[in-house]
Amino acid sequence: MIKRAILFGGKAIVSVLDTTTLVNTAMDIHEFSPSVARAMGKALTMTAFMSGNFKGLNNKLTIIIEGNGLSGKMVLCGDYGAKVRGYAENPQASMDKDVPVSQVVGKEGYLNIIKDFGLKEPYNGMSHLVNGNIDEDFAYYFTVSEQLPSAVALGVDIEDGKCKKAGGVIIQPMPNCSEEEIVILQDIARNFTDVSKTLEEKGAQGIIDYYFGHFEIKQLPDIYEEYKCNCSRERIENMLLTLGKKEALDIVEKEGKIEVGCEFCNTKYVFTKEDIERLFR
């Protein structure tokens, strides 16, 4: 879940996420290697955080992390209510769980954030990767692209092919936050060097109570993130209709069928010649 609290009467907000179930679901679907699971777990946590803050039911988020690391390009999507999904180009890259996340992602490349609020043009923000560790990369993105300096601490603990604990702590001072209050928050943020361990020991609510409970605090409603793909046979059919009947039938003649796979959930949709004929009728 995502726990959130407003601090100092609205001058800052802290979000604590426990995304263990989310990461385990993604691992079951994609069979990530331990090293890729750690990197994708961090990226999924940030996708849940950002889409969890959406106000509109139709708001959509796309995150592209394109570095020069072992996993290749990572693509993640989020919808209102922290409904997220994602994939990596090379999901089984390096079975060594001790490979640093920065080596999986790569230290050179960019982070591209696309937010679709249903307006004429979506918001498109981009920043260079700082070190490929994802924590610092998103913190830098918030600072340079959204002018919202943030402390981002993420952690994913993988053991025996499963995610033991995953999550993050994000602290965001608002523009009216005083220098003194920012220094206090910076001091607290230094405690989160091993987020997965701290989450395991204290839990999401325990982190808020222990580190922030002595301030003026107002808790916001919890958000329950979920790995959820929005693909469907109907959506694939609509895509095939744009091909036109002749081209669709030509593919069937050559291949014997049309098979379309979803990269986010690995579902495969198969269309025979009879399916195509029925579709265009």
For residues 102 and 69, the answer to whether their CB atoms sit within 8 Å is yes
Token pair for 231: 């693909």
- Cα gap 169→153, rounded to integer Å: 5
- Cα gap 239→235, rounded to integer Å: 6
Q: Where does the chain hold its CATH 3.55.30.10 domain(s)?
A: 2-227
> Mean pLDDT lowest for which of 33-37, 131-135, 212-216?
212-216
Q: Say yes or no to pLDDT of 141 above 80.
A: yes
pLDDT of residue 22: 96
Q: Say yes or no to pLDDT of 98 above 90.
A: no
Q: Say yes or no to pLDDT of 28 above 80.
A: yes
pLDDT of residue 121: 87
Instruction: List pLDDT tens digits, range 102-117.
Output: 999 999 999 999 999 9
Higher pLDDT among residues 169 and 96, named by residue: 169
Query: For 2-227, CATH number?
Result: 3.55.30.10
pLDDT of residue 136: 95
Instruction: List pLDDT tens digits, range 11-27.
Output: 999 999 999 999 999 99
Instruction: Name the band, by pLDDT with cuts 50, 70 and 90, for residue 90.
Output: very high
Instruction: Name the band, by pLDDT with cuts 50, 70 and 90, for residue 153.
Output: very high
For the chain, the residue count is 281
Q: Where does the chain hold its CATH 3.90.1280.10 domain(s)?
A: 233-280
Q: Say yes or no to pLDDT of 46 above 80.
A: yes
Give the Cβ contact number of residue 226 at 10 Å: 15
| Averaged confidence pLDDT in the chain | 93
Start-to-end Cα distance in the chain: 46
For residues 247 and 253, the answer to whether their CB atoms sit within 8 Å is no
Q: What is the pTM of this model?
A: 0.92
- Cα gap 8→181, rounded to integer Å: 8
pLDDT of residue 171: 96
Token pair for 54: 């959406």
Which residues make beta-bridge pairs with 5? 14, 219
For residues 225 and 48, the answer to whether their CB atoms sit within 8 Å is yes
Instruction: Name the band, by pLDDT with cuts 50, 70 and 90, for residue 281.
Output: confident
Q: Say yes or no to pLDDT of 96 above 80.
A: no
Three-state SS for 209-225 is HHHHCCCCEEEEEEECC
Instruction: List pLDDT tens digits, range 189-237.
Output: 999 999 999 999 999 999 999 999 888 899 999 999 999 999 999 999 9
β-strands 226-227, 83-88: how paired?
Answer: parallel
Q: Which of 24, 85, 81 is nearest to 49 (CA)?
A: 81
pLDDT of residue 95: 73
What are the b/e assignments for 163-190, b being 16+ CB within 10 Å?
Answer: bebbbbbbbbbeeebeeebbebbeebbe
Q: Assess if CATH 3.90.1280.10 describes domain 233-280.
A: yes
For residues 163 and 40, the answer to whether their CB atoms sit within 8 Å is no
